[in-house]
Chains A and B, each alone.
Chain A
Amino acid sequence: MRRAGVLLMAALLPALAAPPVVIRNANVITITKGNFKGSVLLRDGKIEAFGEKIVIPSGAEIIDAAGQYVMPGIIDPHSHIASESVNEGSISVSSMVTIEDVLNPEDIAIYRALAGGVTTAAIMHGSANAVGGQSAVIKMRWGKNAAGILFGNAKPILKLALGENPKRRGNPTGQTPPRYPASRMGVEDVIRQAFTEARNYRDAWREYEAKVKRGERALPPRKDLKLEPLVEVLEGKRLVHAHCYRADEILMILRLADEFGFRIHALVHALEGYKVAKEIAAHNAGATTFSDWWAYKMEVADAIPYNAALMFKKGVQVSLNSDDAELMRRLNLEAAKVVKYGGVSENDALAMITIMPARQLGIEDRVGSIEIGKDADLVIFDRHPLSSYAKVQKVIIDGEVYFDRDRDATERTAREREKKALIEKARERQKQSAAPARRPS
């Protein structure tokens, strides 16, 4: 991790040396500080100033955004791109595995998400088992290596999963032997068992540390990589994102968390969250949902596009997520659907793809809004971001332009040429190697 930190610093160095950037004449949507027509000043990878009129430092690079819209970079709190694998589904508790170990910074989905205005995403373990793995929060720093795309100092997250997905292996259709659990009853049991073990494990360590403190001789408990992340959850050091759909399982996980004294930071999908919005709000859990998915499986038979709006109206912190490389490219239109279905205000809808997911990931001090001192992660649209016709023009991360639609268009011709040349070269080589080779008999 320290090495990753050093690499990260190295990755950021060019940005540090770069001149300040001013985006001017823009319609600025700050999310938390109102909307205005004016400028945003970026320096050393951070937002230094914004307002209707700001002093432009000498030597600043100017981006004229006349008629365009600037908003904070979109944050996707639930994605599976840039990862070599998604599920360690062979066991029901896989809290020892982490997506950080399998990040693939060369996944083209990163660039495509970037071109859709996304600057930060939580890359999650899948939902094949009740207690899943650890996730990785990344920024879409296309071109950087695995350490270079890490958000850096993001809070660690554990994935839990409820309902049909974790019980699927308990009801196998093929040759594989069944894996416990096979029902929602069993899903609760697996999670309760895991946290009970974690609590015992934590107590064993506490007892050991107390003995050492008293000067008594003691053997340390055996280190358990599966239980360590669960202890972090019990101690509030690790966030919990729980995959869920139905109201019953949502209520179950809230009560289980209450019992063990931890908080569910995000109920993921929560398509029936609207049925228990009061209970979700009381637990202070966030909910991250789809705008309008339904009817793809039984547990989403009652999913409605008004879910986000209804939960929001009942006091739940709601965000939208993609869970999908394609949907990830148009989260702004998903936000527009929350305006359409349930009449949430345009700014509140945009908050659901910026500051709300930032809060659910525990990174709201750095990203999710245009505020002084926050990371200079911005997206420029040619129209209001909730318009069906809005196109991303530029995406800035840490003050650096990572996507530029004009640049993309001009580079296309060169890339096409390069591709053709490479194919030609490969063909030549094939011809040569196809020539009859003289082999020793």
Chain B
Amino acid sequence: MTRTLLLIVLCSFSLRAANSDSFLLRGGTVHPVSGPDIPNGAVLVRDGRIVEVGAKIAAPKGVRIIDVKGLHVYPGLIDSASQIGLSEIGSVRETNDAAEIGDFNPQVRAIIAINPASEHIPVTRANGITSAIAAPTGTLVAGQAALIHLDGWTWQEMAIAPSAAMVLQFPVIQARSGSRARTGAVPFAEQKRNYERRIQELRRFFEDARRYQKAKAAAPAGFETDLKYEAMLPVLEGKLPLVVQAARERAIKDAIAFAEREKLRIIISGATDAWRVAADLKARNIPLILGPTLALPAEEDDPYDKPFTAPGELYRAGVKFAFGSFSTQFARNLPYQAAAAVAFGLPYEEGLKALTLNAAEIWGVADQIGSIDMGKWADLIVTDGDPLEVRTQVKMAFIKGRAVDLSNKHLRLYQKYLERP
């Protein structure tokens, strides 16, 4: 165990020392995700990009060869919902930068608040996750989510899509929580009134943004820039997707209706009840971010395995989705979200896609990441088995062709205290 770790560390250091992001990985089983597996395959990487994938690739002169015999090569996994870099310790307010004050903050950007030195980054990538959505949270329009690589000296170097989507926290009715009615809970009628009022406020904000859009187009003298409405323009123009956080059936349906009326491109995230509206989602080609699947059923009388079977049902209904950890501390467990769905009926290949290619497509970066294909960034992981299995070890990881250090705070503390006399 220790020897393997040492090897990884040595290996990654030697790669770093060479300061090279060109190499030939060969001898392992290559799982491109976009196509069939290639046993005893090879991947050629030059200047951080994948330039060739196949069964036999002749090593160009001077290119370092990394033998991965007996191992498996996958594209790096993508976490489609996290707060990595925005939150360090859950209960310590000073370490949290994911939420702003106010209902409408389209102008705030997660990317510039990403802490590249966050301990969560090396911890998460040690389990094969090479990129992640870091999303702001809040009430209603929360701000712009960033898609980042889990490696880089600065947030600028980490950015894949500095503004990947606008986050909308759809209003929520919390009529019940848990199996018993709680004392002091707000009565349903009042909750519903609040809910409808919030939706009205949301509509008004979009109306105002459209008026601003028109006003700006008319370019009157003395037109003043408004940062909030300005930030909404790419959303109104359909250039930036709106990622709508909506868990329950009512919210999902209302979110669909809202998007329809406003003619918006949306992604529904955290869509627990999506299986109840699968046909509607399919008809409108609305993609989903699912998770966590390792969750309790939403209703007391739902089948015990509903969170596990739902992704399979959505797949069979033709709905496209990717998985998210919806976490920072548990982001490294992302592959097991997919595994639970696979155990309960989602085809394995689809589970893997929902961690890679589907995510890249949903976030509009399939030309850059998500599969082992020519021209994409060499975001690769080398494992000793199926990455969805808990017991599998990630042996190497590459981000933009750079071998990343798989060590982290946890491993260092382990090694330190293992040595305690």
Which residues of A pack against B, CB within 8 Å?
A: 107-109, 111-112, 115, 274-275, 277-278, 292-298, 301-302, 304-306, 310, 313, 325-326, 329-330, 333, 336-337, 339-343, 386-391, 408, 412, 415, 419
Query: A408 contacts which chain B residues (CB < 8 A)?
Result: 303-304
Interface check B390, CB cutoff 8 A: yes
Query: B304 contacts which chain A residues (CB < 8 A)?
Result: 111-112, 115, 329, 408
For the complex formed, measure the closest distance between the CB of A150 and the CB atoms of chain B, giving whole angstroms.
21
For the complex formed, measure the closest distance between the CB of A312 and the CB atoms of chain B, giving whole angstroms.
12
Interface check B343, CB cutoff 8 A: yes
**B89 partner, pick from A293, A301, A388, A391, beta carbons under 8 A:** A301
How far, in angstroms, from A277 to B419 measured CA to CA in the complex? 12
> Which of B297, B304, B413 lies at the interface centre, i.e. has the most chain A CB atoms within 10 A of its CB?
B304
Task: Say whether B414 contacts A304, CB under 8 Å.
Answer: yes
Query: B342 contacts which chain A residues (CB < 8 A)?
Result: 388-389
| 5 nearest A-B pairs in the assembled complex, by CB-CB distance | A388-B339, A336-B390, A306-B414, A297-B91, A296-B90
Task: Say whether B414 contacts A415, CB under 8 Å.
Answer: no
Task: Say whether B410 contacts A304, CB under 8 Å.
Answer: yes
Contact A388/B91 with A295-B120, A342-B414 known, Cβ cut-off 8 Å: no
Interface check B195, CB cutoff 8 A: no
Q: Which residue of B lies closest to A296 (CB)?
A: B90
Contact A391/B344 with A115-B304, A297-B89 known, Cβ cut-off 8 Å: yes
Query: A391 contacts which chain B residues (CB < 8 A)?
Result: 343-344
17 contacts between A and B (CB under 8 A): A109-B179, A115-B305, A277-B417, A277-B420, A292-B333, A295-B329, A297-B92, A298-B92, A301-B89, A304-B410, A306-B414, A310-B414, A333-B390, A339-B391, A342-B414, A387-B389, A391-B343
Task: Say whether A389 contacts B339, CB under 8 Å.
Answer: yes
Contact A415/B305 with A297-B91, A298-B91 known, Cβ cut-off 8 Å: no
Given A111-B304, A304-B413, 15 additional A-B pairs, CB 8 A: A108-B179, A274-B414, A274-B417, A277-B420, A292-B333, A295-B328, A297-B91, A310-B417, A337-B390, A343-B1, A386-B390, A389-B388, A389-B389, A408-B303, A415-B301
How far, in angstroms, from A330 to B92 measured CA to CA in the complex? 29
Interface check B418, CB cutoff 8 A: yes
**B294 partner, pick from A294, A305, A330, beta carbons under 8 A:** A330
Interface check B336, CB cutoff 8 A: yes
For the complex formed, measure the closest distance between the CB of A146 and the CB atoms of chain B, giving whole angstroms.
16
Task: Say whether B329 contacts A293, CB under 8 Å.
Answer: yes
Q: Could you tell me which residues of chain B, from 331 to 379, have a CB within 8 Å of some CB in chain A?
A: 332-333, 335-336, 339-340, 342-344
**B301 partner, pick from A302, A313, A329, A419, beta carbons under 8 A:** A419
For the complex formed, measure the closest distance between the CB of A277 and the CB atoms of chain B, giving whole angstroms.
8
Q: Which residue of A lies closest to B297 (CB)?
A: A112
Query: B393 contacts which chain A residues (CB < 8 A)?
Result: 340
How far, in angstroms, from A420 to B332 measured CA to CA in the complex? 41
Task: Say whether B90 contacts A295, CB under 8 Å.
Answer: yes
Task: Say whether A306 contacts B410, CB under 8 Å.
Answer: yes
Interface check B88, CB cutoff 8 A: yes
Task: Say whether B336 contacts A388, CB under 8 Å.
Answer: yes
For the complex formed, measure the closest distance between the CB of A410 and the CB atoms of chain B, giving whole angstroms.
12
For the complex formed, measure the closest distance between the CB of B419 and the CB atoms of chain A, giving whole angstroms.
11
Interface check B300, CB cutoff 8 A: yes
Q: Mark B394-421, 1 if CB is under 8 A from A, else 0.
A: 0000000000000001110110011010
How far, in angstroms, from A341 to B391 measured CA to CA in the complex? 9
Query: B257 contacts which chain A residues (CB < 8 A)?
Result: none
How far, in angstroms, from A274 to B420 measured CA to CA in the complex? 10
Query: A387 contacts which chain B residues (CB < 8 A)?
Result: 389, 391
How far, in angstroms, from A62 to B396 measured CA to CA in the complex? 48
Interface check B97, CB cutoff 8 A: no
For the complex formed, measure the closest distance between the CB of B145 and the CB atoms of chain A, giving whole angstroms.
21
Q: Mark B1-28, 1 if CB is under 8 A from A, else 0.
A: 1000000000000000000000000000
Q: Mark B162-205, 1 if CB is under 8 A from A, else 0.
A: 00000000000000000100000000000000000000000000
How far, in angstroms, from A419 to B303 measured CA to CA in the complex? 13
For the complex formed, measure the closest distance between the CB of A316 and the CB atoms of chain B, giving whole angstroms.
13
How far, in angstroms, from A259 to B382 measured CA to CA in the complex? 52
Interface check B119, CB cutoff 8 A: yes
Task: Say whether A305 contacts B296, CB under 8 Å.
Answer: no
Query: B333 contacts which chain A residues (CB < 8 A)?
Result: 292
Q: Which residue of B lies closest to A384 (CB)?
A: B391
Q: Which residue of A lies closest to B333 (CB)?
A: A292
For the complex formed, measure the closest distance between the CB of B378 and the CB atoms of chain A, giving whole angstroms.
25
Contact A295/B88 with A108-B179, A340-B391, A391-B344 known, Cβ cut-off 8 Å: yes
Interface check B295, CB cutoff 8 A: yes
Query: A296 contacts which chain B residues (CB < 8 A)?
Result: 89-91, 329
Task: Say whether A336 contacts B301, CB under 8 Å.
Answer: no
Query: B340 contacts which chain A residues (CB < 8 A)?
Result: 330, 388
